[in-house]
Amino acid sequence: MSDTSTPALRLENVSKSFDEFAAVSGLSLTVRPGRVYGLLGPNGAGKTTTIRMIVNIIAPDSGKIELFGRPMGEDLMDKIGYLPEERGLYKKMRVGDQLRYFARLKGMTTRAADAAADRWLSRLKLSEWKLKKTDELSKGMQQKVQFVATVMHDPDLLILDEVFSGLDPVNRELMIEVLQEIKDEGRTIIFSTHQMEQAERLCDDICLINKSRKILEGSLREVKQGFGRRAIALRAEGVDGVLDDAALVAGVKPYGDFQEVLLAEGADAQELLRRLVAKGARVSRFESVEPSLHDIFIRQVGEAE
């Protein structure tokens, strides 16, 4: 399953437009097996269209989509588990019947489907709701039921669109735990969101798209390092004047009890520290920080505006 040589998913120069509107233009990306891959972007960037093409709901106008080295087609649909952003469950159907139906549509036998439903419902602490109708469940519970429907056929590729929406903090942690287990089994997860904090916490690799095009792609580490922005978390007293030097400091953002100091192009952090000490400032925190995904997102997407 986790043959590292063939990518779990590969998109090559994929485009899709609706009438005059280009939803996805020339998108190429590679998802390595066993990784958590974040498909990030603002609303309307083309995430949902991309996902719908991956799961074979709509066909691309041009380009190639390969799943585990084979061109995407109907025969591969059972290998994917897809949790759409907009949830869909039959309101008047019992949770258990509903899960059985979805699993059987993924090619499971009734017996296997029932066993998997029991296992997953208990894992997500929903066992006692099995005989209830969907419309008796809270939104968060429905969300978990939908998640069970997505994973119960043990898909090799899991595509989760905004998986945490509607979950309280306790269930959010439970979900993260479950996702970690799935990852440890060697399955691949594509995680689509516009909430950067979640992506930062879960993703190994990310791809940022905006206005139908890919802006950047790579491992979270590479992206952060490659992002040419160095910042210092600084807490100090008596820094007057030092931070105003444009040759050294590009900008200052206040954060609670510290400031984030963006270094100017070519400036050295050591030089800043030396100048502060020379000025007689009392430094209680001086820490080189990576830009957060949030910052990268804002900067990249904001620049495009």
Partner 1 sequence: MNKLLVIIGREYSSRVKTKFFLISTILMPLFIAMTGVLPGLLFSMKTGGATRLAVYDETGKLYEPVRQSLTAGQGRDGRGGAKAGGVPMRGPAGADRDEQMREMGKALGARYEVEGVQADGRARAEILEALNNRVRKDEIDGYVVLPSDIFESNRAEYYSSNTGDFITSEQIESGVSRGVTEQRMRDANIDGERVRELSKRVEVEAQKVREGGVERDTGGSFGLAMGIGIFIYAALLLYGQVILQSVVEEKTTRISEVLFSSVNSFQLMLGKLIGVSLVGLTQIAIWGTFLGVFAAYGAAMLAASGVDFALPAVPVSFFIYAALFFVVGFLMYATIFVLVGAMVTSEKEAGQMAMPVIFMSVISVYLIFPVIRSPNSSFAFWISIAPFFSPVTMLVRIVTETPPFWQIALSLAVGVATTLGLTWVAARVYRTGMLMYGKSATIPEMLRWVRRA
**What is the contact surface with partner 1 in residues (CB under 8 A)?**
19, 52, 55-58, 74, 77-78, 80, 82, 84, 86-93, 97, 101-102, 104-107, 146, 149
Q: Which is nearer to partner 1, 90 or 255 (CB)?
A: 90
Q: Which is nearer to partner 1, 146 or 192 (CB)?
A: 146
CB atoms within 10 A of CB 209: 24
Q: Which residue, among 51, 2, 1, 6, has the nearest Cα to 27 in the 3D structure? A: 51
What element of type H or E holds 118? helix 110-123
Calculate the alpha carbon distances from 44 to 1, 15, 48 in Å.
33, 15, 8
Calculate the alpha carbon distances from 145 to 113, 142, 198 in Å.
14, 5, 21
User: What whole-number distance in Å separates Cα of residue 67 and Cα of residue 71?
Assistant: 6
Q: For residues 270 and 263, is the Cβ–Cβ distance under 8 A?
A: no
Q: Which is nearer to partner 1, 106 or 214 (CB)?
A: 106
CB of 157 to partner 1, least distance (A): 11
Q: Which is nearer to partner 1, 42 or 155 (CB)?
A: 155
Q: Which is nearer to partner 1, 76 or 220 (CB)?
A: 76
User: What whole-number distance in Å separates Cα of residue 94 and Cα of residue 185?
Assistant: 30
User: What whole-number distance in Å separates Cα of residue 219 and Cα of residue 202?
Assistant: 12
